């Protein structure tokens, strides 16, 4: 399967895709908070395996600024992994309220709707066992441990520097408002201020990181970045010459943390101290997201 045949992406202009994705993200938490979503809160078991002849449709938030995958690191994780293994897919924008568990990403695969980035990848590994390069039991354990380390530590640092820190908040708010049609900016601004950001503050407080000072948050985050840098070392990927699930998880965070907009620049500066992590991110971008690095310009409102 050639690289040009592997991925089918929607034909949206940059302003249409960016505006729809960011506006959806801004309004989604409000919708969920008002209990208007249609997903089942007590759900059936997530499907375990599907028919390999079915089309894979990935639903998630779109990219923003110079992020090449999605401004959700979990959507980026799934998309990166599917590109690593060469699975063809179609990507569509969606609201969290449309998802089986009220969160993005999810995939539609025939009759199966599969939520949660971890379950999506496991489901696809079972359905297409031939695409994933086998790991030794030790490598598999390391991949699982590193993925959980990144999601439990680094993702919440990104969350803080995007939605809570004043510089990150002003940047993401400006990016959202600039990308939606003028007629929608007043209601979107209201929802951002009245619902979205307060929900983010509450979520991070409940998680625990939101109870710390900025200095303490950055100290912990820098320790985790240093650890990830040491894990990578001089290797091409975290476990050697071929990417694995842990690399997809790491890329979801790093692609967003290095963005020029939509995040506190202090996070980008902190990450930039680790030259091997920056080079690693750029290597994945160039190898698997080359077309998405070429941004079109448009004057549409």
pLDDT digits (tens, 9 = 90+) for 10-64: 444 444 445 555 555 444 444 444 444 444 454 578 999 999 999 999 999 888 8
Is residue 67 within 8 A of residue 262, CB to CB? The reply is yes
Identify the CATH class of 137-293: mainly alpha
pLDDT reading at 292 higher than 80 = no
pLDDT-derived band at 293 (thresholds 50, 70, 90) equals low
Specify the pLDDT at position 98.
87
Average pLDDT, the chain: 86
pLDDT in tens, 115-124: 999 999 999 9
How does pLDDT run across 117-146, given as a tens digit for each residue? 999 999 999 999 999 888 999 999 999 999
Q: How far apart are CA 254 and CA 272, in angstroms?
A: 10
Token pair belonging to 242 = 């071929």
Tokens for 9?
A: 């992406």
**Annotated domain spans of the chain:** 3-127, 137-293
| CA-wise closest residue to 15 among 49, 62, 80, 48 | 62
CB neighbour burial string for 269-279, b if at least 16 within 10 angstroms, e if fewer:
ebbeebeebbe
**CB of 47 closer than 8 Å to CB of 110:** no
Residue 81, phi then psi, degrees to nearest 5: -60, -45
- Asked whether 284 and 81 are in contact (CB, 8 A), the reply is no
In this predicted model, which residue has the larger pLDDT, 216 or 61? 216
CATH architecture of residue range(s) 3-127: 3-Layer(aba) Sandwich (3.40)
| Whole-prediction pTM | 0.83
Residues of the chain with pLDDT > 70: what percent? 83
């Amino acid at each position: 399967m050639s690289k040009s045949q592997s991925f089918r992406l929607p034909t949206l202009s940059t302003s249409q895709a960016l505006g729809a994705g960011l506006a959806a993200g801004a309004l989604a938490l409000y919708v969920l908070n008002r209990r208007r979503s249609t997903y089942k809160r007590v759900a059936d078991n997530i499907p375990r395996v599907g028919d390999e002849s079915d089309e894979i449709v990935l639903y998630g938030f779109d990219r923003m600024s110079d992020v090449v995958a999605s401004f959700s690191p979990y959507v980026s994780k799934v998309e990166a992994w599917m590109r690593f293994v060469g699975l063809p897919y179609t990507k569509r924008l969606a609201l969290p309220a449309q998802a089986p568990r009220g969160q993005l990403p999810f995939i539609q695969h025939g009759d199966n709707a599969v939520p949660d980035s971890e379950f999506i990848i496991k489901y696809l590994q079972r359905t297409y066992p031939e695409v994933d390069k086998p790991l030794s039991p030790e490598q598999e354990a390391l991949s699982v441990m590193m993925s959980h380390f990144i999601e439990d530590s680094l993702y919440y640092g990104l969350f803080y520097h995007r939605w809570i820190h004043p510089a990150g908040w002003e940047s993401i708010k400006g990016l959202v408002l600039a990308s939606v049609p003028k007629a929608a900016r007043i209601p979107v601004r209201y929802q951002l201020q009245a619902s979205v950001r307060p929900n983010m503050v509450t979520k991070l407080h409940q998680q625990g990181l939101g109870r710390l000072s900025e200095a303490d948050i950055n100290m912990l985050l820098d320790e985790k970045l240093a650890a990830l840098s040491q894990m990578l070392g001089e290797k091409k990927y975290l476990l050697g010459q071929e990417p694995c699930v842990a690399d997809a998880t790491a890329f979801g965070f790093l692609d967003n943390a290095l963005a020029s907009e939509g995040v506190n620049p202090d996070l980008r500066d902190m990450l930039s101290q680790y030259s091997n992590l920056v080079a690693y991110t750029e290597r994945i971008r160039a190898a698997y997201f080359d077309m998405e690095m070429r941004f079109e310009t448009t004057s549409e409102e």
